[in-house]
Every structure is written in C-alpha cells, then in structure tokens.
Amino acid sequence: MHDKTKALMQRGTAFLGTEYAILCGAMSWVSERNLVSAISNAGGFGVIACGAMTPDLLDAEITATKALTSKPFGVNLITMHPMLFDLIAVCARHCVSHVVLAGGIPPKGSVDAIKAFGAKVLVFAPTLALAKKLLRQRDGAGADALVIEGSEAGGHIGPVATSVLAQEFLPELSVDHVVFVAGGIGRGDMIAAYLEMGAVGVQLGTRFACATESIAHPAFKKAFFRANARDAITSVQVDPRLPVIPVRALRNKGTEEFTAKQIEVAKLLDAGSVDMGEAQLQIEHFWAGALRRAVIDGDVESGSVMAGQSVGMVTSEEPVADIIKQLMDQSEAALAR
C-alpha cells in the first residue's frame, strides 16, 4: 500500500520522523493544538502557527499539543516577531524537533540558536540564489531544509507560481538538499508529480483548514466549501509608499475595505496629516485581528478568509486521517499509471 509514494518520500519521512512526508502549512488561528496533533497522529507532520503569540502563549500551545500527540510536530515562527529569540528559547525548553522560520530572511543568529538545542531548521526562499545561501552548510550553520511555496498558496505569498519555482529549484537543489513543495496542492496526483521532480515531500494548508479537527468556525468552513479557485484573490497594493505583502484570501467586503483603507491613508500622507510610520501602522492595524474575526468569530464578510487557489477542491468537512489517505491513494494511482 502506497509503496511507490513512500519510496519517493523516504528522505522526507526520515527528516521529519513521520510515516508520510506531508506537512501542514502554518495557518494562524487554525494550526493550533487540535489540528496539529490530529495531523501528526495520522502520520503527517503538524506545525503550530506561532504568528503573533507571546512566549507564554506559545509555551501553553506546545504543552497542550504534547498532551494530544506523542508523534513529532514542528513550530512555525515569524522572523519579524519582536520576541523571536524568546520564542526560540521556548522551543528549546520543550525540545521541539523542527522549527520553521517564515516571513523573511532569518535574522543573524536565529538559525544558530535553533540548531544549538538540536532542532532541524526549515526555511522559505523566494529565489534560487537566496535558497542556496540559506542552505549553505558552512560550519553546520545553514538551514536543514527548504520549503518552496508558490503564489497559489493562501495567506502571505510571493509573486511566482509553484510550478515555475519547482522547475527552477528542484533540478538545482534536490540531489543534495531536503526540499518540500507548497502552494496550490489539493490532490495526490500533484504530490506524485513534485516527488518525481525531486521533492522529498509537500506542504498543504488549504486542504486541511476545514478538516473535522480544525477549530475554524462553521461559517469559515462554509465559505471554503462554496468557493472556487478564482474566488481566492490577492490583496492589491494601492500606493508604493505603503508596503503591503500580498495576501491571498477569499474575495469579500473586507478585501474591498482594505483597498479603500489604503487610499484613505495615502490621502492623509499626501495632506501631511500623518507621517510614514503612522501611515504604515494604520495599514497594519487594519488587518490585525481580521483573520481571527473570520476563523474564530465566523465573520466571513469583513474578516480575512485566507485561502489558497486549491480551495475549489475543498468541498466538505473530513477527518484529517481520511484526507491524508485520499492524498496518498491518489499519488499511488498516479505513480502506477
């Protein structure tokens, strides 16, 4: 059962310590103890989304996840978090086995601090040159694995499609390095294709967001079931002075309000009523809590319903174990063809 797929995933499963080399993408408010433990218990690799958590909150989340699974799981930390090194210290206390650094180039000393307590480090890189730099194992200081994530993914994204990144990165890196592919993966056939290209495994977020074990609000899940690929759109940057990392989410009133808010802030900037720092802060505050409103409170109209373009393949609530089995069955069938 799943012999061909497992053979191609072998380096990935050895790296993660799991049965399947299927990571769950870190989705703020969604990738918490319940979903993370369910994915790890089903043979995949759950990842806690630390997001804006304080060290105390992360400490509690790791403790609670450990109570629900004895299998390996990871923690995703945002590189620009003001307390990044305190969060790394929390991971060290818990002997977390894998830490994913996301949201930018890891600050000086962060990779070393994680490796110092024996954890493996996974990073993201938007370009091949940066990937090579981050993976360079001088004195063991480089990252241990890379996740290449294309623009089809949900949440904060880069500008290039997964299929293009895979063609650029995998031939260059996959022989000597551990590389996972993410973004727009909704079926096992796609997993098989990336494994054959040299990936050791994959990461999926959208496919797991509405699992039975996900604590997301029923209204949030319903929005996913109703949506198709073209409903998952990227936020627009109205003014180059206001840095907006594109976010892919389902089109709703909140998406339109965000565009209007940028225009309003740009006008205040022109009039000299706010300085650049205050303007950027207003943009940040607008989205702060928007994701929580959607996931936890079920406000899918003005909240941020972050979803990848594979959302059209999410049509019902299913247990994590069933989702993983489907993906593996589909991959095996594709490899047998």
For the chain, which residues make up each domain, given as ranges? 3-216+311-336, 229-306
Report strand pairing: 201-204 vs 178-182: parallel
Looking at residue 78, what is its pLDDT? 93
Asked if residues 202 and 21 have their Cβ atoms less than 8 Å apart, the reply is: yes
**pTM of structure:** 0.94
Report strand pairing: 232-234 vs 247-250: antiparallel
Looking at residue 279, what is its pLDDT? 83
Looking at residue 142, what is its pLDDT? 92
Helix (H, G, I), strand (E, B) or coil at 80: coil
Looking at residue 90, what is its pLDDT? 98
Nearest C-alpha neighbor of 306 from the set 237, 258, 241, 239: 258
The segments of the chain whose pLDDT lies below 70 read: 138-140, 288
CA 3 to chain centroid, in Å, comes to 27
Looking at residue 283, what is its pLDDT? 78
Class of domain 3-216+311-336: alpha beta
Structure tokens at 162: 């997964």
For residue 231, give the DSSP letter.
G
Can you list the alpha helix ranges (DSSP code H) found in the chain?
Answer: 3-8, 10-16, 33-41, 55-68, 84-93, 110-115, 128-135, 162-173, 188-196, 206-209, 218-226, 253-271, 276-287, 290-295, 320-336
Looking at residue 281, what is its pLDDT? 77
Looking at residue 288, what is its pLDDT? 67
Give pLDDT tens digits for 126-176.
999 999 999 987 656 799 999 999 999 999 899 999 999 999 999 999 999
